[in-house]
Amino acid sequence: MKRVKNYINGEWVDSETKEYGEVWCPATGEKIGEAPFSTANDVDRAARAAKEAYWEWRCTPPLTRARYFFKLKNLFEESFEDIARILVTEEGKTLDESRGEVRRMIENVEHATGVTTLMTGYNLEDIAHGIDCTAEPQPIGVFGVIAPFNFPAMVPWWFLPYAVVSGNTYIVKPSEQVPMTQTRIFEAIDACGFPEGVINMVHGARDAVNGMLYHPDIKGISFVGQSSTARYVYKACGETGKRVQSLGGAKNFVLVMPDAELDKSMPSLITSFYGCAGERCLSGSVLVAVGDVYKELKEKFVAAAKSLKVGNGLQEGIQMGPVVSKKHKEKVLGYIEKGIQEGAKLILDGRNIKIEGYPNGFFIGPTIFDEVHPEMTIAREEIFGPVVSLIHVKNLDEGLKLIENSEYGNAACLYTTSGKTAREFKYRAVASMMGINLGVAAPMSFFPFGGAKGSFFGDIKGHGREVFQFFTDTKVVIQRWT
Amino acid sequence: MALTTFGAIMGFAVEMIGRSMDIYRTAVGKVKDPVLKENVQVLLEEGKKNSSLMEQTRRENVTEMILEPIAGLQQEDYEIDLKISGASEDSDLLKAALALEEKERRFFHDSSEKVPLPEVSRIFRKIARKKEKYIDHLKSLRLNM
């Protein structure tokens, strides 16, 4: 059993805490590790190291800073399979999903190495007679990320490489449920040879989070997690004058039009709802059958869901793994109970799934509710599990109304063969990540990631071109030499 | 068993190549004919290259947003008959090599049509084409033995 350490100022160090959280393997239900619930003092130690490292790093030429990331990319490629397997072991997703996640992490490193073009400012001569003006983006100081459990490798890397390649220094706080993946990633960082204090990691939970939110030397926070915490982080950063990008939860609607190519669409529909066991903020949650596609869609979707291979994600060929923890399993089962109580019709029940060889795993099989009404809890709240709510509407307008009325606005998807309908949908739907004929509208590293309404608190989203604005302050210099 | 995921197909490809390499490694020590020995060594080297190409392809082409189920490939159709690893005469070893290369060629050809990622399909097709050439070459050796 592994007890992970913090990484501060280029060294692996113990937290001052006596409290440790347990890390579980979701497939076997066994305890596999412990992570310290680091204190505000531990965060302070990391923040001081990062602050100390800042000026020298900030003065390092951008291309030199980028070279560290070129090297780091190669180190990540070498440890790719190792990281992916650790991730499966502590989070539960399948090996393919895990490899896909590690790939996306590396893509962010690749994108960030374009700093010499992505971070440049602009200028204009003669803004008045003989006066020139330049806008010069400059790094700001120490930034940090507070990461969720569901993408333990990738999410910190939506932010970290851009912050650091821009000349800032950094602190990562991984989820206390899945601390081992980022620990393995930091072994690569350690081997890469970054100057001490440039990149740091502090494990922990509430105390570490508050330590970061209220630390005077931390200039900005990126957060990804559930909406209630995202709102809390946003408020705290407002109080303390920090920059903030706070990504919350989701309730994603997937509309299927009568003209959709159902057979062709089915693999991606299934992936949308059951990929990562529904534990992703881009997962489909409400399947909306528009018009007379309802009966055929239901039959085909149920048949495809039934055929999914559920098991230990470490076995190749498994299509859906367990959910992350016993506690989370109970939460998802609670939503299923709620759906039954509120009158939805359970047409595929994954509650009692048995996986041979894994009697203690946190498995829930594919679950489908039919005859779901928009006001039901399962149609409104984020379940974050393999539970699908099927709603039948008359037309596109009714479907768009469902999206508009949702508290969340992360992603929305549409299946159709009509360009006109697709345009109407992307034009009107109140969500920020849109999929047309695909079920996981996941922006890649060179496009921004983040939602609308209760799914996002802040201005500048994760990765994409814009993220460089979050990690820099644009200094405007007005000069007269004539 | 059905190969229904990208990882399952890539994993099977790695295993298949590994099994062939094991057989070729043993065969190198048994083959008497120097021309055949040289050819088995070439196949062994090619196996090493393909193995690392498969690892790289698996790493670099796994696109998280479209990890969709794949249909139409059965592992059993491409299993290698391990009895052929017991061959000791040159003619039997050549037959074994032909059988191995043909199994692999068919696997990569069929998979290239099922995997929905053009880059991966292209790599599979390229390997299948190379295998075709080796098969023709091995057949020409058979005529000379």
Domain borders along chain B are: 6-144
Amino acid at A229: T
Q: Which pLDDT belongs to residue B145?
A: 63
**How far is the alpha carbon of A118 from chain B, nearest alpha carbon, in Å?**
24
Q: Which pLDDT belongs to residue B144?
A: 64
* A240 backbone φψ class: left, alpha, beta (φ>0; ψ -120 to 50): alpha
Q: Among A77, A101, A309, select the one facing B59 at the smallest CB separation.
A: A77
Q: Which pLDDT belongs to residue A260?
A: 98
- pLDDT bin (cut points 50, 70, 90) of residue B89 is confident
- End-to-end alpha carbon distance in chain B: 38
* Alpha-carbon span A337 to A331, nearest angstrom: 10
Whether A224 and A271 share a structural domain: no
Q: Do A97 and B6 touch (CB under 8 A)?
A: no
Q: Which residues of B touch A321 (CB under 8 A)?
A: none
* Alpha-carbon span A480 to A478, nearest angstrom: 7
Contacts of A339 (CB under 8 A, 6+ apart): A346, A369, A372, A376, A377, A378, A387, A389
Whether A240 and A292 share a structural domain: no
Give the model confidence (pLDDT) of A369-385 as tens digits. Answer: 999 999 999 999 999 99
Q: Among A99, A103, A270, select the one facing B69 at the smallest CB separation.
A: A270
Q: Do A316 and B11 touch (CB under 8 A)?
A: yes
Q: Among B1, B4, B64, select the one facing A100 at the smallest CB separation.
A: B64
Please give the interface size between A and B, counted as residue pairs whose CB atoms are below 8 Å apart: 68
Whether A74 and A170 share a structural domain: yes
Query: Is A444 contained in some domain?
Result: no
**How far is the alpha carbon of A216 from chain B, nearest alpha carbon, in Å?**
38
Enclosing domain of residue A463: 2-248+455-480
Q: Do B62 and A309 touch (CB under 8 A)?
A: no
Nearest CA in chain B to A80: B59
* Alpha-carbon span B36 to A270, nearest angstrom: 50
Q: Which pLDDT belongs to residue A50?
A: 98
Q: Among A100, A309, A441, select the one facing B62 at the smallest CB separation.
A: A100
Q: Do B66 and A438 touch (CB under 8 A)?
A: yes
Whether A299 and A223 share a structural domain: no
Q: Of A25, A192, A276, A281, which one is the catalytic site residue? A: A281
Contacts of A462 (CB under 8 A, 6+ apart): A158, A159, A222, A224, A245, A247, A448, A449, A450
What does the block give as tokens for A135? 């806008």
Q: What is the mean pLDDT of residues B112-129?
A: 95
CB atoms within 10 A of CB A181: 29
Whether A242 and A261 share a structural domain: no
* Alpha-carbon span A143 to A47, nearest angstrom: 9
Q: Do A319 and B4 touch (CB under 8 A)?
A: yes
Q: Which residues of A touch B7 (CB under 8 A)?
A: 94-96, 99, 316-317
Query: Is A79 contained in some domain?
Result: yes
Which of A85, A97, A99, A279 has the most B C-beta neighbours within 10 Å, making it the best mutation to test the interface with B?
A99
- pLDDT bin (cut points 50, 70, 90) of residue B88 is confident
pLDDT mean by block of 10 residues, chain A; 482 residues: 96 98 98 98 98 98 98 98 98 97 98 97 97 98 98 98 98 98 98 98 98 98 98 98 98 98 96 97 98 98 97 95 98 98 98 97 98 98 98 98 98 98 98 97 96 97 96 98 92
Query: Is A14 contained in some domain?
Result: yes
Query: Is A235 contained in some domain?
Result: yes
Query: Is A449 contained in some domain?
Result: no
Q: Do B62 and A441 touch (CB under 8 A)?
A: no
CATH of the domain at A239: 3.40.605.10
Catalytic site residue A276? Answer: no
Largest alpha-carbon pair distance within chain B? 53
Whether A428 and A281 share a structural domain: yes
B68 touches chain A (CB under 8 A): yes
Query: Is A310 contained in some domain?
Result: yes
Q: Residue A218 pairs with which residues in a beta bridge?
A: A142
Whether A202 and A235 share a structural domain: yes
Q: Do A103 and B60 touch (CB under 8 A)?
A: yes
Strand locations in A178-296, DSSP E? 199-201, 218-224, 243-247, 252-256, 284-290
Give the model confidence (pLDDT) of B36-54 as tens digits. Answer: 999 999 999 999 999 999 9
Q: Over 90: is that where the pLDDT of B87 sits?
A: no
**How far is the alpha carbon of A274 from chain B, nearest alpha carbon, in Å?**
11
Which of B9, B54, B64 has the most A C-beta neighbours within 10 Å, making it the best mutation to test the interface with A?
B64
B143 touches chain A (CB under 8 A): no
Whether A300 and A288 share a structural domain: yes
* Alpha-carbon span A141 to A102, nearest angstrom: 27
ipTM for the complex shown: 0.82
Whether A27 and A168 share a structural domain: yes
Residue located via tokens 């696997």: B107
pTM of this prediction? 0.93
Residue B115 dihedral angles phi and psi, to the nearest 5°: -75, 125
* Alpha-carbon span A343 to A275, nearest angstrom: 26
Number of separate domains in chain A: 2
Query: Residue A414 in contact with residue A436, Cβ under 8 Å?
Result: yes
Q: Which residues of A touch B64 (CB under 8 A)?
A: 97, 100-101, 103-104, 440, 442
Whether A285 and A187 share a structural domain: no
Sign of the C-alpha dihedral computed for residues B21, B23, B29 and B31 taken in this order:
negative
Q: Over 80: is that where the pLDDT of B65 sits?
A: no
Whether A186 and A73 share a structural domain: yes
Parallel, antiparallel or unpaired: strands A131-139 and A472-480? antiparallel
A101 touches chain B (CB under 8 A): yes
* Alpha-carbon span A237 to A230, nearest angstrom: 11
Residue located via tokens 């957060």: A223
Query: Residue A221 in contact with residue A426, Cβ under 8 Å?
Result: no
* A167 backbone φψ class: left, alpha, beta (φ>0; ψ -120 to 50): left
Query: Is A448 contained in some domain?
Result: no
Whether A164 and A268 share a structural domain: no
Please give the CATH number for the structural domain made up of B6-144. Answer: 1.20.1260.10
Residue A393 dihedral angles phi and psi, to the nearest 5°: -120, 165
Query: Is A450 contained in some domain?
Result: no
Q: What size, in residues, is chain B?
A: 145
